[in-house]
Structure 1
């Protein structure tokens, strides 16, 4: 019997549920070592190399470049060196662990996994190997190197090819028992009575196995305690939550017969004999135009779309703006160029003014959290992680300068340049891309004056800076040509009123018009 080990695509950070396979670094038959990079994958956050937790011979590659893989699905199969090859026989699928609900103070019943009797030797072998890992860590995943046993959230199915050791399924990974998540195969036909393993408890959340289902319900305000489950034993499936989010339209075909109207109905135009439906001919049925291309929404574009849609649906936003005379700031920067050290960019100066303004108006450096019971609270932070919106070939990304309030303009300039560079290379980490508390957006580089930007959820405000152009301006009662830019602040009206937002915006504008007052630490 072979000892093939299957490595599942891990959660690469921030609860991501899928990744696109960019390229393989190994081929079937190659000998690999522990922590050797085996594949390059692109997530909604960045492009990363995935190391192997096993050493041995590559037996199978589960996926082709360009294919989107779900977290928790097989990535690569490895046969240890010296393993005796033997014919494999189908193995009956072992029983899943029983999930017992356990009451908490908030009335939610979290899952508590109980290993079934006769736990497989494969699972025990994995635990022993886990303890002897190398310690190499890739974002949220890695081999612990003797630092303790990694969390194991549920037992995994045995492959029909023989006993298989697998890595644990992380939180946020696709549930193998969810709709369409289980691969077809001999093991999928194993005679397992799921109703014996999962018992529906009315009014409790214990009948939800998949963390994806829980998250979907939480994001759309669906009460799982009152939702009937269509799965075995009353298990709540993804389709149940989707049905609650988007109720089905009434079936007009099933409506009782009514007296026909005396008004003549228009005669439908018959399709020519043998004609294919419009969609199958590549013609859009609504517009009658030929469809030139269909582009899947995935990766960064999918993440941006989901985040922006959530921001628009959840945040009651408002926008304030002001024109600013930036002549003094440009003159200051020109004067600094006579020195020997590198002169910070204009965005770094604005970032310095923003951090000073957020110290004075901390309401804009917060986050709103909603509890499961619907109550909300405003979370304030001891520090500022300043997000910098950066346009890349992969889409809009927002890496953040951590502890930005502690940095000078020169230090901010260096960090902004570094983060922008790694973001454009697709090498920014999930921590760099997901830890911001306030976003600064320089859309002036696109040649526009202003924009009512969408707030980068879950933040509560975003400041935009437009292009700097010559405009007529009144100075000391006389008309003059000055360098003018527009600042636009979009803010969450739940955390503050217009007075606070206007006070912050005016603070930053005054700093740009009189930069020497805040730049003693350039």
Structure 2
């Protein structure tokens, strides 16, 4: 048998140097195919499934769930299966009760019709495959990808008249479809569902071909099982993509006592994944950026009345945040100092780098922590276009499906913390950007209009900026520009 081939954890994009191993989809001794998902890892950007570039038998798993692995370090060792070994394994003729295997696709012939169960399994794979690494692997999660299969070996192509013998993929399929065993589960989605809901796969007999455990089998077991403990919150199964495991909180006993306070320590939660990345970025921002903050109360009544008139006319109404985003991009054109970045050379010299365009970051709170997907080329978009892209980005970010490219590359950030019911916040700049604008809740407040007291819809805008790139006059000018646009929105919304 050949020497094992070692697959190193690949570059996950955007300069990331490490990833946390969330779970393995394979075990030592399993037979895997090219592009088969072998592990789920979580980076500072998103959770992705790592596909194998090799086919063969898993010889070693280099890491345990919960460990942080460095890029370029061994992830998995795979022993290739030789053609002769595959033929020896396939020597006994399959009995009538053995499962029929799927023929492998080749470049020379069209694939034969597949069984209903195989097609059902493929649909489940589509629903369960999430973000895979850019550049290789099987795409999925969008209902457009189809499962690829390895080509037949050169021996099989050279001797078409010989009786059809199982290929490596077919042998792998035979080995995994063992009724009543964990190996009878091929789909990572089904494995995860069973794990999260406490379903014992070893006790299930699958309804699929030759006992293959399908998603419906796990769902049936979930419905019939009597609850033995307080139910956990169900994950969002309707959303395709990788299921992100909750942050592990380790309970400790009373004997673990804090020396400073004298109190018993109730739990210890590792700082890792997105939380670790946020902590590192915020620490760097605070230590490197001399920030300052300005704020202003804004009468948003005119903007709300404009949206009501649009609604009365039957027009499609963008969200309030998309209008403010439109005002922000216009303000950054007028005050480009806030759409820059500070670069420091090795000799300590610094440059202010300006950009020809705006990538507007939108701060979004997710189950994995705070992430900032960016709307690229936001200065070219109308309020309606911004609304559609903001909704798409926040949706994929909350599902854990945002790509590293979508979660990076921002030049300025807009943070709507008003959705949490607060009025203001001295936000921390998203390094290496130089500014962040926060929007508070809109509430009724007494306001003087034309010398008379009135009740108006008022919000608070807060701008935190890097004092190295501009002074207070520029920051105040930008903030006042956005505030004036909110109070008199018609002047900037001719293109919506």
Alignment of 1:435-474 (within 5 A): 435-474=409-448
Alpha-carbon distance, 1:70 to partner: 2.3
Q: CA deviation at 1:288?
A: 0.9
Question: Which residue number in structure 2 is paired with residue 46 of structure 1?
Answer: 46
After TM superposition, the structure 1 = structure 2 runs for residues 218-233 of structure 1, keeping only pairs within 5 Å, are: none
Provide, for residues 461-515 of structure 1, a one-character-per-residue CA deviation record: whole Å limited to 9, x for no partner. 0000000000000111111000000000000011011110000000000000000
The answer to whether the 8 Å contact 1:8/1:73 transfers is yes
> 2:316 and 2:49 mapped to 1: Cα distance?
34
Cα deviation for residue 30 of structure 1 reads: 3.0
Deviations 1:51-76 (A, max 9, x none): 11112222222233333222222211
Residue 48 of structure 1, CA deviation: 0.7
Establish whether residue 423 from structure 1 lines up as the match of residue 394 from structure 2.
no
Tell me how far apart the structure 2 counterparts of residues 72 and 376 of structure 1 sit (CA, whole Å): 32
SS class of match (1:411) = helix
Query: SS of the counterpart of 2:82?
Result: coil
What is the aligned partner in structure 1 of residue 320 from structure 2? Answer: 346
Q: Is the 8 A contact 2:2 2:80 kept in 1?
A: no
Partner of 1:514: 488
**CA deviation map 1:6-64 (0-9, x unaligned):** 11111211222221222222333333222222211111110111111112222222233
Is 1:78 paired with 2:78?
yes
Q: Which residue of 1 aligns with 2:281?
A: 307
Counterparts of 1:435 and 1:340, CA distance in 2: 36
Residues 11 and 140, structure 1, Cα contact 8 Å, conserved in 2? no
3-state DSSP of counterpart to 2:365: strand
The aligned counterpart of 2:298 is 324
> Is the 8 Å Cα contact of residues 361 and 504 (structure 1) preserved in structure 2?
yes
TM superposition shift of 1:339: 4.2
Aligned partners of 1:400 and 1:340: how far apart in 2? 30
* C-alpha displacement of 1:343: 1.2
Query: Matches of residues 87-98 of structure 1 in structure 2 within 5 Å?
Result: none
Q: In 2, Cα distance between the equivalents of 1:452 and 1:66?
A: 34
Query: Any idea what SS the aligned residue of 2:393 has?
Result: helix
Residues 83 and 62 of structure 1, relative CA distance in 2, 3 Å threshold: farther
Contact 2:48 2:133 (8 Å CA) reproduced: no
- Aligned position for 1:263: none
Instruction: State whether residues 10 and 141 of structure 1, in contact with CA within 8 Å, keep that contact through their aligned partners in structure 2.
Output: no
In structure 2, stretches of 5+ residues that fail to align are 86-130, 138-252
Structure 1, unpaired ranges of 5+? 86-136, 144-278
Aligned match of 2:30: 30
Q: In the aligned structure 2, how far is the partner of 1:55 from the partner of 1:405?
A: 47
How far off is 1:298 after superposition?
Answer: 0.7
* 2:56 paired residue number: 56
Distance 2:373 2:4 in 1: 40
Q: Secondary structure at the match of 1:382?
A: coil
Change (3 A) 1:341 1:75: farther
TM-score, length basis structure 1: 0.62
| Residues 111-510 of structure 1 mapped to structure 2, 5 A cutoff | 139=133, 142=136, 281-510=255-484
1:426 deviates by: 1.2
Q: Could you say what the CA RMSD is over the residues aligned between the two structures, in angstroms?
A: 2.0
SS at match of 2:458: strand
Q: Helix, strand or coil: the match of 1:337? A: helix
In the aligned structure 2, how far is the partner of 1:487 from the partner of 1:30? 57
In structure 2, what is the Cα distance between the partners aligned to 1:40 and 1:410? 36
Distance 2:316 2:74 in 1: 49
How many residues get paired? 337
Comparing 33-42 with 456-465, greater Cα deviation is found at 33-42
Aligned partner of residue 63 in structure 1, secondary structure: coil
Spell out, residue by residue over 1:249-278, the C-alpha distance to the aligned partner (whole angstroms, 9 max, x if none).
xxxxxxxxxxxxxxxxxxxxxxxxxxxxxx
Q: Deviations over 1:342-399 (max 9, x none)?
A: 3111000000000000000000000000000000000000100000000111111000
Equivalent-residue separation in structure 1 for 2:279 and 2:351 (angstroms): 26
